[in-house]
Amino acid sequence: MKLYNSLSRTLEDFAPLEPGHVRMYNCGPTVYNDQHIGNYRTFAFADTLRRWLEYKGLRVTQVINITDVGHLTQEHLDSGEDKVMVKARELGWTAEQVAGHFMERYFQDRRILFFQEPAHWTRATRYVPEMIALVKRLLEKGAAYAVGGNVYFDVARFPGYGKLSGNSLETLKAGARIEINPEKRNPADFALWKTDAKHLMQWDAPWGRGFPGWHIECSAMSMKHLGETFDLHTGGEDNIFPHHECEIAQSEAATGKPFVKVWLHARHLLWDGEKISKSKGNVVLVQQLLDKGYSPAEIRYVLVSTRYRQQVNFSWDLFDGARPALRKLAGFKARLAEAAAKTDGGKAPDLEAVRAEFEARMDDDLDVAGALGVMHGFAGQGNAALEGGLAGKGARETLALLDRFDGVFALLGGGEERPPDEVLRLGGERVAARKAKDWKAADAAREGIQALGWAVEDTKDGIKYRRL
Ligand code: AMP
Ligand code: ZN
Domain assignment present for residue 210? The answer is yes
User: Once rounded to an integer, what is the mean pLDDT over residues 124-134?
Assistant: 98
Residue 25, domain CATH: 3.40.50.620
Same-domain check for residues 204 and 348: no
Instruction: Provide the domain count of the chain.
Output: 3
What distance in Å separates the CA atoms of residue 11 and residue 367, rounded to the nearest whole number? Answer: 13
- The three-state secondary structure class of 271 is strand
* Predicted confidence (pLDDT) per residue in 153-198, tens digit: 999 999 999 999 999 888 777 665 556 788 999 989 999 999 988 8
pLDDT for 38: 95
Same-domain check for residues 53 and 130: yes
CA of 237 to the centre of ligand 1 (A): 8
C-alpha pair distances (Å), 75 with each of 59, 83, 215, 239, 447: 34, 10, 10, 10, 42
Atom of ligand 1 nearest to the CA of 71: 4
What distance in Å separates the CA atoms of residue 76 and residue 48, rounded to the nearest whole number? Answer: 30
Q: Is 306 in the pocket of ligand 1 (CB under 6 A)?
A: no
Same-domain check for residues 440 and 350: no
pLDDT for 413: 84
pLDDT for 178: 54
C-alpha pair distances (Å), 323 with each of 2, 123, 316, 328: 31, 36, 12, 9
Domain assignment present for residue 328? The answer is yes
Phi, psi (deg, nearest 5) at residue 149 = 90, -20
Domain assignment present for residue 203? The answer is yes
User: Once rounded to an integer, what is the mean pLDDT over residues 2-27?
Assistant: 98
Please list the residues that pair with 233 across neighbouring strands.
Answer: 25, 263
Same-domain check for residues 312 and 209: no
What distance in Å separates the CA atoms of residue 87 and residue 194, rounded to the nearest whole number? Answer: 19
Q: How many CB atoms lie within 10 A of CB 183?
A: 13
Same-domain check for residues 173 and 57: yes
Residues 6+ away with beta carbon under 8 Å from 387: none
Same-domain check for residues 110 and 223: yes
CA of 77 to the centre of ligand 1 (A): 19
Cis-peptide into 242, omega within 30 deg:
yes
Q: Is 29 in the pocket of ligand 1 (CB under 6 A)?
A: yes
Please list the residues that pair with 314 across neighbouring strands.
Answer: 271
* Predicted confidence (pLDDT) per residue in 340-381, tens digit: 999 999 999 999 999 999 999 999 999 999 999 999 999 999
Same-domain check for residues 432 and 292: no
For residue 109, pLDDT over 60 is answered with yes
Q: How many CB atoms lie within 10 A of CB 418?
A: 12
Atom of ligand 1 nearest to the CA of 270: 19
CA of 83 to the centre of ligand 1 (A): 14
What distance in Å separates the CA atoms of residue 171 and residue 185, rounded to the nearest whole number? Answer: 16
CA of 244 to the centre of ligand 1 (A): 13
* Predicted confidence (pLDDT) per residue in 42-62, tens digit: 999 999 999 999 999 999 999
Most informative mutation of 39, 270, 271, 286 for ligand 1 (most atoms within 8 A of CB): 39
162: Cα within 13 Å, side-chain hemisphere: 14
Q: Is 34 in the pocket of ligand 1 (CB under 6 A)?
A: no
Most informative mutation of 86, 87, 238, 267 for ligand 1 (most atoms within 8 A of CB): 238
Residues 6+ away with beta carbon under 8 Å from 288: none
Query: In terms of residue numbers, what domain contains 304?
Result: 286-409
For residue 418, pLDDT over 70 is answered with no
Same-domain check for residues 310 and 261: no
Please answer whether residues 374 and 368 qualify as being in contact, where contact means their C-beta atoms are separated by less than 8 angstroms: no
